[in-house]
Structure 1
């Protein structure tokens, strides 16, 4: 039985989509149980009883715009804290949240710990799944020295190996592929990655290589990654709306959106499986995030990544 802990309070649309999404997933996947962490102050009617659905009422909610301060770690009755703690106590196999990214990362590091000293957890997003292609980091870390970017390359490569039959081939996102281009941080990261046996490093990657080419793990700092991802998603949504009603073109965009797009990102590098969905997720995106969480729980992604990195270090 895959046990999902679902933080219902982080999304812009409130807990309703979490309740509805959970019931939809449960109706399709008989080997899944979901525990929803919610706040009764939301005032919504609770879902109908289900033998594989549990509800945990929490007195506190961490809002999306809250700053990361020490008091965050004392808010043990918040939906985010309690759902993550279920992972720490091994009463769940994966946590899915649409909530505050900074709070999620801070609490995950605090409650779960990291899989390797000095390795910073990173958010990984699948740009598409067949063949698997990933972007890392998406916003878990903003100020990144070279050693942190090297760690992102390791996490991305281990992710690809764990979830596919692809050989990870790393590219470092830069303003050009010429050796003279890039900041001192990028140039030093390039030097460090070039001197490693694993993962295989193919050098700098330009923005045009995000969705095509040999490199299937694209590494960048969290600010760049977040901007790139949201710009790409914004362009896709713009084009879908622009060509809405134009039969062949519209159906092509819709097919790509529905079959190639993973809903949410995976926080890799902590001792647990964790999916962060968009705060603006609608019902279909909520369902997609839950299904993504189930997929990585089935693969026991955290254990696979930890084993790969520990094997590399030995």
Structure 2
């Protein structure tokens, strides 16, 4: 396997706009990021999409699969009934060492189930978590929130493991030497919260491998005071989608209100600032979430992903591969055996 060029298997049949937007984003990632992209799906559909983008099948490797797990299908049933579905074939490429990571904007439950069945969990991890990176008030700092949808009913030890996984990711991908880990709660005090929060607080506080600094309230998520915030997947998914909606509304308000009455010269000054604002708050710029806790790199994207989202999802996967996130978790023995 190539050491300096990450090979990312992209589920070309997953997502609302597959395969055209998936193919476009994957090609852009291959052109600009230096990653080698493997497009997994129906060869005829992928080749037709390549032609629509004035590209050749000689420019990218196509891996044949049969069908996809549809959004209305139950995840586990779907991946078992369709062993050659695009997400299963993509996961098998990682399992067999023919790819370094997987990107899919298809059925998120199917992606997680396929990863668990084919790649397995890392030693000591009971449940995986989807980590999402959010912008903060500090333009040079992001915060990792996990879980944002993998496990909706959590035990305290699951959240403790999420904190361990988040610590490694924050250190080696986000560049935080001493990440500040928080527990999402309804108050700062240690006595606040439900039974899950109270028992988790005690575990995090007493684990020397977790740089835990206390509870984080909802208003603290984007403050920049925390590098990692842990919560169950139910709360995390609600927060993720609310943040996406607020970002979209804010961008629309800026366009509606700030651009009124400006002439062409004024627009030349304002538009670069608006572009930077979009890059900071638009979920498209973040690409999706990394499924942490499985024995392989897997990025789960939004079902509504367009080309730029896929580009950033491949970038996210490549960063995880380049920074050896999976290996570092294993090397540092951050989980109890």
Q: Same fold (TM over 0.5)?
A: yes
Distance in 1 between the 2:69 and 2:317 partners? 21
What is the RMSD of the two structures over their aligned residues, measured on CA atoms? 2.3
2:306 corresponds to 1:282: yes
Pairing 1:1-314 to 2, within 5 Å after superposition: 1-29=5-33, 31-39=34-42, 45-47=48-50, 48-49=55-56, 51-70=58-77, 72-128=79-135, 130-166=140-176, 167-245=178-256, 246-247=258-259, 252-259=273-280, 261-308=285-332, 310=333, 313=336
Secondary structure of the structure 2 residue equivalent to 1:4: strand
| Contact in 1 for aligned 2:10/2:90 (Cα 8 Å) | yes
**CA spacing shift, 1:307–1:76, aligned 2, 3 Å:** same
Q: Secondary structure at the match of 1:243?
A: helix
Q: Which runs of 5+ in 1 are unaligned?
A: none
- C-alpha offsets along residues 55-91 of structure 1, whole Å, 9 cap, x if unaligned? 1232221012321344623522100000011011010
Change (3 A) 1:24 1:233: same
Q: Distance in 1 between matches of 2:43 and 2:335?
A: 47
* TM-score, reference length from structure 1: 0.91
Gapped regions of structure 2 (runs ≥ 5): 260-268
Q: Report the CA distance shift for 1:63/1:163 in structure 2 as closer, same or farther (over 3 A).
A: same
CA distance in 1, matches of 2:212, 2:312: 31
> CA distance change for structure 1 residues 304 and 118 in 2, over 3 Å: closer, same or farther?
closer
Tell me: CA distance 1:41–1:111, structure 2 relative to 1, closer, same or farther (3 Å): same
Judged with a 3 Å threshold, the aligned counterparts in structure 2 of structure 1 residues 56 and 43 are, in CA distance, closer, same or farther, namely closer
Query: Is the CA contact 1:244–1:250 (under 8 Å) kept in the aligned structure 2?
Result: no
Deviates more, 1:97-106 or 1:123-132: 123-132
Check conservation: 2:125, 2:335, Cα contact below 8 A: no
Total equivalences in the alignment: 312
